[in-house]
Amino acid sequence: EVLTEGPEMAFCTLGDREDLNPEEGSICQCLYQFTRNEKLTESNKLLCDVCTERHYGPKKNIKSEKYIYNNAKKQMLISLAPPVLTLHLKRFQQAGFNLRKVNRHIKFPEVIDLAPFCTVKCKNVAEGSTKVLYSLYGVVEHSGTMRSGHYTAYAKMRSMNNHLSDLVLRGQFPQAVANEPVKGQWFHISDSHVQAVSAAKVLNSQAYLLFYERLL
């Protein structure tokens, strides 16, 4: 969805981004880099229809070589805060003509705030709110190589999240709730084998997919 905003609001975020100092090798750093402000210059300049028409007249009378391109800024931000947040980590990289699996550990929290990565007019966020909190409830992990391997999962057994139900079923904005993860017991699932594990073991896993549920 393309939104047209005034220059003062176009690059404003719901949460403060200035003081954000994400830890290296963390999911927050990934989100920060993905939503960073980019400058479009030289061969990446943006075609300006308004400038072109102002200089040459109606677009239908203009030859393509006369189009006017300007330097611009681009930033990708979240415009709709989802009830369930799914983060997919790219676990491969190009090495010549081959693909190689990335086994680096990426740190991820039990509670994450998406506000610094959301547009200031983000939908599904109560007016005046400066936090968009999510609690971790599931992780998919892959072991092995690009050619073969095994998928396992971590899932948290917890009580029903009424705030999430109200958002999904009734479209009601979540009100103030504790800034803590939803309480529950984590389990590791590998085929037919299920074992209770600690939250620390989950946070040390080689995450491939992360599943968060909306808190606030």
Q: What is the DSSP string of 50-74?
A: HHHHHHH-SGGG--GGG--EE-EEE
Q: Are 138 and 211 in contact (CB under 8 A)?
A: yes
The residues, any chain, with a CB within 8 Å of residue 57's CB and separated by 6 or more, are none
pLDDT (tens digit per residue) in 24-78: 999 999 999 999 988 988 888 888 877 877 777 766 555 556 788 888 888 899 9
> What is 80-214's CATH superfamily?
Cysteine proteinases (3.90.70.10)
**Can you list the pairs that 192-198 forms with residues at least 24 positions away whose Cβ atoms lie under 8 Å?**
197/154
Token pair 């968060």: residue = 212
Taking the C-alpha atoms of residue 176 and residue 215, their distance in angstroms, rounded to an integer, is 9
Q: From CA 153, how far away is CA 142, in angstroms rounded?
A: 9
User: Which pTM was predicted?
Assistant: 0.81
**pLDDT per residue over 153-197, tens digit each?**
999 998 877 767 777 766 666 665 556 788 899 999 999 999 999
